[in-house]
Structure 1
Amino acid sequence: MNTKNLICKEIRIDSNALEIPRATYQRELNMDRVHKIAAEFDERIANEPKVSYRGGRYYVFDGQHTIAARKLLNGGKDLPIRCKVFYGLTESDEALLFAQQTGASARLTAGAKFRALIYGGDKEALAFLKATESVGLCVDCKQTRGVKRLACIATAFELYKKVGGEVYREAMRAIVDAWGGDPDSLRAETVQGVVEFVDLYYGEYNRRRLVTRLRQVDPLTIFREGRAMTSLPGYKRYLYQVYRLYNGSSAKTALPMKF
């Protein structure tokens, strides 16, 4: 993002001139949040909505719920609102700023943030999307569980950044080959267990054996038995389940425990 020629001014804009780009990077309006903001609204500490002036129009990239709350308090009628207006942003810039918003804004879901990163052209997010789709999965920004729909976006994206594209694709392809995209196989814990296993034993494990061994169990096994395990911390609980399944009772093909 080029900030060299960026100009910012605080001006009053009539609310009917403020546009919310929900068709691209903005999230849907949450009326429960609007009513909550309205009930607690205090003009003395209210934050100014952040707006991009682009192509002769005002686009809100942070603060749509505050705007809606002000209108609600005004009997549903439009009114002038003091806004922080940025000049010189592109639509991609707006999307990336929306994805990075912090502070008083409602926390973005992982799906909403990822959708904005994709729309803004974030290279790492685009590479993660391509890697996930290459193994036959859909990254579901609405985060609804379904066959071949990856809803644990935050976990999977962090794993991608940690292990790299090659290892991530190999692990996710093993999951798909073993369970055919079963929603339970795409739980965050199961995905983490398999990806961490492939990363830890990359170049040592036998892919065919891993897929065969995973296919023999319900994918919920990794989640349930890992959650019940207290002797290992965090993700290692689920890594251990994959490690145990892979080794089975075979001393010949067993991998050494490294964690």
Structure 2
Amino acid sequence: MPKARKKYYEAIPVGQLKVDTNLDAQRMFQPKWAKKLESIWDPEVLLPAIVSRRADGDFLLDGQHSTRVALDKEGMDFERDCLVFEGLTRQQEAKLFLAANRDRRAVKPYENFAVAVTAGEAEAVQINEAVRSCGLHVSGGTSKEGISAIQALKVVHVMREVQDGLLAKTLTTVLGAWGHDPTSWDGMMLRAVAIVINKNWDTINLSALSLTLKQEPVGKWKDAAIRDTVSGGGSQSRSIPLANNIAYEYTVAFGEKHGPAYGLPKRKPKKATATAA
């Protein structure tokens, strides 16, 4: 007769937890994901792994990557809380894997950000403070005062030391160009403006930069940059030709008064532009 199915919690040394590479329910190990988990490692918030206890050992159904990180960071004797199942068939193991990895709603970027602010994580708190200092707020949807381009905010945040205020200067410049226009809170545009300010930190005139941007709506700036982007480029790569176009137009309009703005090397030349720093 098949063994009766049991379920209970148990703390198990990570050195004892195994991976069955022949099990259909088990994903292949992904080093990049493990490295990401290692960079934010905190044993106090490690959630339980899901384990199938077989006659030949304890096998992970969920938690392979975090268990590997725990092993590397804490050693073989580090005890991890586990939800342990006994008496499972291979089909039941596969169903549990799907329940743990497929059958749950993905957490939206704003939800993660809001929780990170509540948890007091430094990056989220600093971004939130910079955005609010401009009379704006991070939100789940773009509006006149709400910015949903959270990844772009993070990129700008780490582009220069926080005390220098690059993010606040970027948002203030965009506000000066288009006011509280929801279309201006575009991730590609925010990254591009930040690149121009960052590369010309000691010489750029933000009021003049706002006037430069104001010449065209966000959509036209983006269309021109997309034409200059190698096929397949995402919004982050497109922000580079967009930054070059902004730097060029700034130099044409205000270069004699405020000095030239320097961009990054273009992928394919379109017209003469300021040389790279």
TM-score greater than 0.5 by the shorter chain = yes
Letter in 2 for 1:161: V
Residues 48/122 of structure 1: CA separation in 2 closer, same or farther (3 Å cut): farther
Instruction: Please report how far the alpha carbon of residue 198 of structure 1 lies from its aligned counterpart in structure 2 after TM superposition.
Output: 0.5
Q: Which residue of 1 aligns with 2:245?
A: 241
Q: Which residue of 1 aligns with 2:206?
A: 207
1:254 equivalent to 2:270? Answer no
**Contact 1:135–1:169, Cα closer than 8 Å, also in 2:** yes
1:43 equivalent to 2:92? Answer yes
Compute the RMSD of aligned alpha carbons.
Answer: 3.1
* Cα distance in 2 between the residues matched to 1:48 and 1:119: 30
Q: Which residue of 2 aligns with 1:154?
A: 151
1:10 equivalent to 2:10? Answer no
Q: Which residue of 1 aligns with 2:36?
A: none
Instruction: Please report how far the alpha carbon of residue 246 of structure 1 lies from its aligned counterpart in structure 2 after TM superposition.
Output: 1.2
Matches within 5 A, 1:85-124: 107-124=106-123
Of the structure 1 ranges 187-196 and 115-124, higher mean CA displacement relative to structure 2 is found in 115-124
State the number of aligned residues: 178
**Contact 1:171–1:198, Cα closer than 8 Å, also in 2:** yes
**Contact 1:148–1:180, Cα closer than 8 Å, also in 2:** no
**Contact 1:129–1:139, Cα closer than 8 Å, also in 2:** yes
Q: Alpha-carbon deviations, 1:137-169, whole Å to 9, x = none?
A: 2101x2x22112111101211221222331221
Gaps of 5+ in 2: 1-41, 45-73, 86-90, 262-273
Q: Which residue of 1 aligns with 2:189?
A: 190
Q: Secondary structure at the match of 1:8?
A: strand
**Contact 2:155–2:191, Cα closer than 8 Å, also in 1:** no
Residues 64/214 of structure 1: CA separation in 2 closer, same or farther (3 Å cut): same
Residues 231/243 of structure 1: CA separation in 2 closer, same or farther (3 Å cut): farther
Instruction: Please report how far the alpha carbon of residue 2 of structure 1 lies from its aligned counterpart in structure 2 after TM superposition.
Output: 5.8
Q: Which residue of 1 aligns with 2:222?
A: 223
Letter in 2 for 1:236: I
Q: Which residue of 1 aligns with 2:16?
A: none
Residues 64/45 of structure 1: CA separation in 2 closer, same or farther (3 Å cut): closer
* Cα distance in 2 between the residues matched to 1:123 and 1:164: 13
* Cα distance in 1 between the residues matched to 2:176 and 2:255: 25
* Cα distance in 2 between the residues matched to 1:243 and 1:169: 19
**Contact 2:134–2:168, Cα closer than 8 Å, also in 1:** yes
Q: Secondary structure at the match of 1:236?
A: helix
Of the structure 1 ranges 125-134 and 231-240, higher mean CA displacement relative to structure 2 is found in 231-240
Matches within 5 A, 1:23-62: 43-47=92-96
Q: Secondary structure at the match of 2:81?
A: strand
* Cα distance in 2 between the residues matched to 1:145 and 1:229: 26
TM-score computed with the length of structure 2 as normaliser = 0.55
Q: Secondary structure at the match of 2:249?
A: helix
* Cα distance in 2 between the residues matched to 1:178 and 1:6: 55
Q: Secondary structure at the match of 2:83?
A: strand
TM-score computed with the length of structure 1 as normaliser = 0.59
**Contact 1:197–1:242, Cα closer than 8 Å, also in 2:** yes
Instruction: Please report how far the alpha carbon of residue 200 of structure 1 lies from its aligned counterpart in structure 2 after TM superposition.
Output: 0.7
**Contact 1:137–1:181, Cα closer than 8 Å, also in 2:** no
Instruction: Please report how far the alpha carbon of residue 106 of structure 1 lies from its aligned counterpart in structure 2 after TM superposition.
Output: 5.8
Instruction: Please report how far the alpha carbon of residue 179 of structure 1 lies from its aligned counterpart in structure 2 after TM superposition.
Output: 1.1
Residues 241/137 of structure 1: CA separation in 2 closer, same or farther (3 Å cut): farther
Select the residue among 137, 142, 145 that pairs with 2:142.
145
* Cα distance in 2 between the residues matched to 1:228 and 1:162: 25
